[in-house]
């Protein structure tokens, strides 16, 4: 499974964490030395407005195992992780936050769970959290909803401390706020050996939290988006066609009932009401139109998928090439 000269790649997104970077670096180096692991540290400055980049530059100038990337503005944690995933070379890739709330002492355990136990991904579980009440309760609800939608039995989807096989992260495309749903993306790519382990959660020592209630609103919308994409990206007609069929058949059935009811009433000389005078007829008409539109959307989506599909859209486990 080895892909490079490093045992482990540590990817650390940074946003206004100048006070903690130096301390985090020292802690990580101590752990790597004690555990006899060779590793690279990749700091991604996500548009910090303080001196975070200066701190990263100082470390890179004195340690060849430190890399730094600096965004021109704040693109978000997903973009930072994606950039790190593209350049990491370690057999095991570990992500952690830069605010010292994730403990580097967990690195050897996470590395062992990937290399020795063969897991594709290990997610940290902050069983005991040092966060304010208003952050813990919404987080529990968010994790419950995500478990329900994804079918993945994890307690803490959004824990920053995670470990992966290198090949796993190379197939993940992150943008927006999709970092919260990395386990779902990993599962969708065919890597199902996903587990979790209890990790230590440190109380915040420097700076302020980046938490905001807005992220739970956008997070729920992202969950719907990711769930749809993972299930129907390659066969959108299965989604739109099913809804279109239900809508069309419902409208068609109501229309047939109204016409048949009128014919029977005329046959038995009962009071007859014109079909177009009944409000339910217009509901049936709308259902018919929506059904046809959903079918057309499904057909168009299938044509787009067929035109854009290539080899890189699929995760390849192994490849044997001819020697001829």
- For residue range 299-319, list pLDDT tens digits in order: 888 888 777 655 455 565 665
Show the tokens assigned to 283.
């509901």
Best mean pLDDT range from 136-140, 146-150, 208-212: 146-150
Percent of the chain with pLDDT over 90: 52
Tell me what pLDDT residue 133 has: 61
Distance in angstroms (rounded) separating the CA atoms of residues 6 and 88: 9
Distance in angstroms (rounded) separating the CA atoms of residues 163 and 10: 9
* pLDDT above 70: percentage of residues in the chain: 84
pLDDT at 36 over 70: yes
Phi/psi at 11 (nearest 5 deg)? -105, 120
What is the chain's Cα-based Rg? Answer: 26
Q: Are 154 and 196 in contact (CB under 8 A)?
A: yes
pLDDT at 313: 58
Structure tokens at 312: 């890189």
The mean pLDDT value for 234-249 works out to: 89
Superfamily of domain 8-232: Spore Coat Polysaccharide Biosynthesis Protein SpsA; Chain A (3.90.550.10)
Asked whether the predicted pLDDT for residue 263 surpasses 50, the reply is: yes
Reported as a pLDDT band with limits 50, 70 and 90, residue 1 is very low
Distance CA 124, CA 201 (A): 10
Burial of 1 (0-12, 13-18, 19+ CB in 10 A): exposed
- Candidate from 38-42, 76-80, 273-277 with smallest mean pLDDT: 273-277
Q: Provide φ and ψ at 13, rounded to 5°.
A: -65, 140
Mean pLDDT check: name the lowest of 74-88, 151-165, 221-235, 257-271: 221-235
The model's pTM: 0.75
Task: Give the DSSP letter string of 265-312.
Answer: HHHTT-----GGGSHHHHHHHHHHHHHHHHHHHHHHHHHHHHHH--GG
User: 19-23, 43-47, 133-137, 239-243: which has the minimum mean pLDDT?
Assistant: 133-137
User: Quick one: pLDDT band at residue 107, thresholds 50, 70, 90?
Assistant: very high
201 DSSP β-pair partners: 102
| Mean pLDDT, range 243-261, rounded to an integer | 93
| Average model confidence (pLDDT) across the chain | 86
Domain edges within the chain:
8-232, 236-307
Sign of the alpha-carbon torsion through 34, 155, 169, 214: negative
Look up residue 43 and give its two tokens: 């700091």
- Residue whose token pair is 């005078």: 277
- Read off the pLDDT of each residue in 53-67 and give the average, rounded to a whole number: 95
| All residues at 6 or more sequence positions from 15 whose CB lies less than 8 Å from its CB, including other chains | 45, 46, 47, 48, 52, 74, 98, 210
């Amino acid at each position: 499974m080895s892909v490079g000269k490093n045992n482990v790649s540590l990817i650390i997104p940074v946003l206004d964490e100048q006070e903690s970077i130096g301390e985090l670096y020292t802690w990580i180096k101590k752990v790597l030395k004690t555990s006899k692991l060779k590793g690279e540290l990749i700091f991604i400055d996500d548009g910090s407005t303080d001196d975070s980049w200066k701190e990263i530059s100082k470390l890179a100038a004195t340690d060849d195992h430190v890399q730094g990337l600096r965004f021109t503005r704040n693109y978000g944690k997903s973009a930072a992780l994606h950039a790190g995933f593209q350049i990491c070379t370690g057999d095991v890739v570990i992500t952690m936050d830069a605010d010292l709330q994730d403990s580097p002492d967990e690195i050897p355990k996470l590395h062992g769970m990937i290399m020795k136990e063969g897991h594709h991904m290990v997610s940290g579980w902050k069983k005991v959290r040092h966060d304010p009440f208003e952050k813990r309760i919404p987080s529990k609800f968010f994790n419950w909803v995500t478990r329900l939608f994804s079918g993945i039995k994890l307690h803490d989807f959004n824990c920053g401390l995670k470990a992966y096989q290198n090949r796993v992260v190379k197939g993940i495309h992150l943008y927006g706020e999709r970092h919260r749903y990395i386990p779902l993306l990993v599962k969708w790519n065919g890597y199902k050996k996903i587990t979790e382990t209890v990790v230590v959660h440190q109380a915040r020592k420097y700076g302020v939290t980046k938490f905001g209630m807005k992220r739970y609103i956008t997070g729920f919308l992202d969950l719907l988006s990711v769930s749809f994409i993972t299930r129907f990206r390659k066969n959108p007609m299965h989604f739109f066609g099913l809804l279109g069929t239900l809508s069309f058949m419902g409208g068609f059935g109501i229309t047939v009932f109204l016409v048949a009811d009128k014919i029977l009433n005329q046959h038995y000389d009962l009071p007859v009401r014109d079909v177009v005078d009944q409000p339910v007829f217009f509901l049936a008409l709308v259902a018919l139109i929506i059904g046809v539109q959903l079918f057309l959307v499904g057909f168009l989506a299938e044509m787009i998928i067929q035109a854009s599909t290539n080899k890189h859209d699929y995760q390849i486990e192994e490849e044997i090439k001819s020697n001829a």
